[in-house]
């Protein structure tokens, strides 16, 4: 008599746990998707070939050599070994006026907001930041003991970053390491395959490459008791490559006024070199900032999983929860094709990725092009 009621009771409990977790149950299972988003708040996430990666500090970077400062680790691996990796805080690396502490703290609450609770909006394309990577410059200095290419590229990045609030610079060493693990070498950097990977995976709009010649030093010592006077000249040449079309958007070139680099006294030759580099960077950074600011903004669909649409741009770029994006099929090289529909940003994923929901038209496909548009 007792076996039948016990069997029924066990069956009812099994059905309850199979369908949902009761409110009184002490262990909340929750949504794995929402839990993952919470763990990735304030982390830099990219999606390449439909797989999510998170930017972390390289635990072996202190060993020196060719060890990169940062790594991209698959998200699942990061979540299972969080204590192994110390994820970098992007806001400290690239301080911007709009990355206040309050805006960072509000990101976690933003991930819980549903699109139905916000009004359709649109971020102005002028406010959205373009992603750019400056490759190390080809150094044509005659002295094998002095290599300035990587140092000049780093200084140029910092100078442009001061002048423009519409550019996000992606660390070149990290990108280079990522490409090398996929079998690409430096000579492949401007090939269509690599440019597409930079655009579709990292969301990079432009690649800046070039070379430097010099600095060449001219020193004089008028008399025995007088200090050496030295001047130097440096020539910088670079080009801006559009990652979407593969076209060279602009060629830039500059050389510093040799008179302005004149230095006198102890270490005058070294001081003249530094002065020449600073002058050349100051000049070319003005033109480079203008060209980068004028780039056309767009982003990509990185992944589609059920009703969730993943986008390779987010809060750091300047998108907002509720923004409406027009979806275009990729057209010819460097072009967007037919309009497919509209999606609306529903949550942020990490520092600069986001998720969206379809609100009109056909469901997007991976690599579809997105542009800001007015709401419905």
For the chain, the structural domain boundaries read 32-110, 115-127+297-372, 130-293
Q: Calculate mean pLDDT across residues 120-143.
A: 78
At residue 112, the pLDDT reads: 35
Residue 143 predicted with pLDDT over 70? no
**Would residue 361 be called left, alpha or beta, if left means φ above 0 and alpha means ψ between -120 and 50 degrees?**
left
Strand runs (DSSP E) across 69-111, as ranges?
70-74
Domain 115-127+297-372: state its class: mainly beta
Distance CA 42, CA 253 (A): 38
pLDDT at 102 over 70: no
36 φ, ψ to 5°?
Answer: -65, -40
CATH class, 130-293 region: alpha beta
- pLDDT for residue 61 is more than 80: no
- Residue 121: per-residue pLDDT: 56
pTM of this structure: 0.71
| pLDDT tier, 26 (very low <50, low <70, confident <90, very high otherwise) | very low
Residue 233 pLDDT > 60, yes or no?
yes
Of 114, 133, 122, the closest CA to residue 208 belongs to 133
Half-sphere exposure of 174 (CA within 13 A, CB side): 21
Is the pLDDT at 90 greater than 50? The verdict is no
pLDDT at residue number 39 = 66
């Amino acid at each position: 008599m007792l076996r039948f009621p016990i069997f029924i009771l066990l069956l009812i409990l099994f059905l309850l746990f199979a369908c949902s977790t009761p409110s009184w149950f002490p262990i909340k299972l929750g949504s794995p998707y929402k839990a993952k988003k919470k763990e990735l708040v304030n982390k830099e996430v990219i999606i390449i070939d439909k797989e999510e990666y998170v930017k972390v500090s390289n635990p072996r970077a202190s060993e020196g050599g060719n060890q990169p400062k940062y790594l991209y680790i698959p998200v699942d691996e990061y979540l299972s070994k969080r204590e192994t990796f110390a994820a970098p805080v992007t806001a400290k690396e690239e301080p911007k006026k709009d990355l206040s502490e309050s805006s960072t703290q509000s990101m976690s609450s933003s991930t819980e907001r549903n699109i139905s609770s916000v009004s359709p909006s649109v971020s102005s394309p002028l406010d959205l930041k373009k992603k750019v990577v400056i490759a190390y410059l080809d150094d044509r200095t005659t002295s094998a003991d002095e290599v300035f290419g990587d140092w000049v590229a780093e200084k140029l990045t910092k100078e442009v970053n001061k002048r423009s609030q519409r550019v996000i610079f992606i660390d070149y060493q990290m990108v280079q390491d990522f490409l090398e693990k996929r079998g690409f070498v430096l000579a492949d950097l401007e090939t269509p395959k690599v440019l597409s990977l930079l655009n579709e995976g990292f969301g990079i709009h432009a690649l800046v490459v070039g070379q430097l010649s010099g600095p060449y030093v001219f020193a004089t010592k008028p008399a025995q008791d007088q200090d050496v006077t030295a001047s130097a000249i440096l020539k910088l040449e670079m080009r801006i490559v559009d990652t979407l079309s593969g076209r060279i958007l602009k060629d830039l070139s500059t050389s510093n006024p040799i008179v302005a680099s004149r230095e006198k006294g102890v270490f005058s030759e070294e001081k003249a070199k530094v002065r020449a580099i600073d002058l050349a960077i100051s000049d070319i950074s003005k033109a480079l900032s203008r060209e980068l600011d004028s780039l056309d903004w767009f982003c990509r669909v990185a992944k589609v999983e059920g009703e969730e649409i993943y986008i390779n741009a987010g809060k750091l770029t300047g998108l907002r929860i509720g923004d409406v994006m027009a979806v275009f099929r990729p057209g010819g090289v460097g072009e967007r094709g037919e309009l497919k529909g509209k999606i609306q940003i529903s949550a942020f994923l990490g520092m600069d990725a986001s998720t969206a929901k379809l609100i009109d038209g056909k469901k997007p496909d991976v690599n579809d092009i997105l542009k800001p548009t007015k709401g419905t």
